[in-house]
Amino acid sequence: MNRKNLVILLGLAGFIVMADNWVVSPILPAIARSVGVPAAGAGVLIAAYMLPFGLFQLVFGPLADRFGKSRIIIGTLAAFSVATALLALGTTIPALASIRALTGLFAAATMPISLALIGDVVPMEKRQQAIGSFMGIAFLGQALSMGIGGAIAYFLDWRGVFVLYGAFAAVVTVVLWRGLRTAAEGETRNAKAPVLRPYLDLLRDGASLRTYLVILFEGVFLLGSFSYLGTVLAERFQLTFLAIGGVMTAFGVAAVIAGRTSAAVAARLGRTRTIAAGLLLAALADGLVVVGSSSLWVTGIGVFLLGFGFMTAHSTLLTVATEFARSARGAAMSLVTFAFMLGGAAGTQLGARIIGSSGSIAMYAIYGVGLALLGLVTLPALSAAARELTPAPETA
């Protein structure tokens, strides 16, 4: 397996994990009905997944540095496959919540450790393109998850969603297991890797701390914006789940395109300017969602630009972060994903409050301003990180 195929397969692992992350929301009413509880009572399934998913980001990083990234990816993805399929057998909310928590625990390793492995085996000059491709494929799963889950639940049953997701994850696991033996020969491993010290060192360093703070607020405003796109499309245009999934495909398609082009943009503009440009594009996307209340086309363009701006900024941030701690790359990338998901959780909750009190237009206006300000602050905040932590200086 060559590096290109490795990135694609890791992207497919990320695809199924990100799709699984979001698939419960559209089928929650069907799950609640089948086990005889109100839809609100079944909402615990979402929290049961997200809590271990966030916390275990920080656990798997040091484990990957100590025992090997490829081993952690294969082991956790295999366990994720089994846990996902087992959800189809749940008949009560406590049982489903317990299995869902295990799914979130094992899913936590895929994204950060895959990024760390890419950082190990892909040369710096090709790394951003590889990271962009990986993230684009993974977030295509997030963008398609509502449509995929809704379609499977409509034609089969909500249990069929988890059977098919588990089977897909199992196939990817087997192919990765066979290919990683040769493709991951360049991965770093330290049998005496510390657990907490890498995180403390990363947070003590000014350049890396500023980068993590940018990623945190990127999660607040960008993931917070993404979280309610389906709701906006349903309320404004009365679209079905299948139609919503079709429109939100634009986010994933844009992310894939930006993942392929962001490296060339960064080579031309420099990494900090590329990050700022991506955040400003995302701010423009939120603005289009605000003014497109009566036009599906304008809102759809906003969805596309949000995906493009997100991947342009995020793949560049990830590339910079791969150089923070070469001997503890698993920990460095786990902290990236933790900060991003923590910001996303906060942004989603804050967005719910804003929508409840002032409506979705107000939320997207506020988050658009937040993204614009973050883009402007990024230029002075990350210039030192880009100079100190990348092997080549930025070009004008």
The C-alpha atoms of residue 3 and residue 281 are separated, in whole angstroms, by 30
Q: Which residues contact 373 (CB under 8 A, 6 or more apart)?
A: none
| Res 390: pLDDT | 45
Burial of 95 (0-12, 13-18, 19+ CB in 10 A): middle
* Residue whose token pair is 């993942």: 259
DSSP for residue 220 = I
pLDDT tens sequence across 258-275: 888 888 898 898 888 999
* Residue whose token pair is 């630009």: 305
DSSP per residue over 101-141, as a string? HHHHHHHTTHHHHHHHHHHHHS-HHHHHHHHHHHHHHHHHH
The C-alpha atoms of residue 396 and residue 376 are separated, in whole angstroms, by 17
| Res 98: pLDDT | 93
Q: Which parts of the chain have pLDDT scores under 50?
A: 389-396
The C-alpha atoms of residue 132 and residue 125 are separated, in whole angstroms, by 13
163: its two tokens: 């059977």
| Res 77: pLDDT | 95
How far, in Å, are 64, 190, 374 from residue 353 at the CA level?
A: 38, 45, 21
206: its two tokens: 């000014």
Cα atoms in the Cβ-side hemisphere of radius 13 Å centred on 151: 11
Q: Which residues contact 264 (CB under 8 A, 6 or more apart)?
A: none
Q: Please answer whether residues 15 and 197 qualify as being in contact, where contact means their C-beta atoms are separated by less than 8 angstroms.
A: no
Q: Please answer whether residues 138 and 14 qualify as being in contact, where contact means their C-beta atoms are separated by less than 8 angstroms.
A: yes
118: its two tokens: 């890419």
Beta-carbon count within 10 A of 339 CB: 21
Q: Which of 49, 14, 51 is nearest to 28 (CA)?
A: 49
| Res 194: pLDDT | 64
| Res 203: pLDDT | 81
The C-alpha atoms of residue 366 and residue 354 are separated, in whole angstroms, by 9
| Res 384: pLDDT | 60
Domains and CATH numbers, the chain: 1-183 (1.20.1250.20), 192-396 (1.20.1250.20)
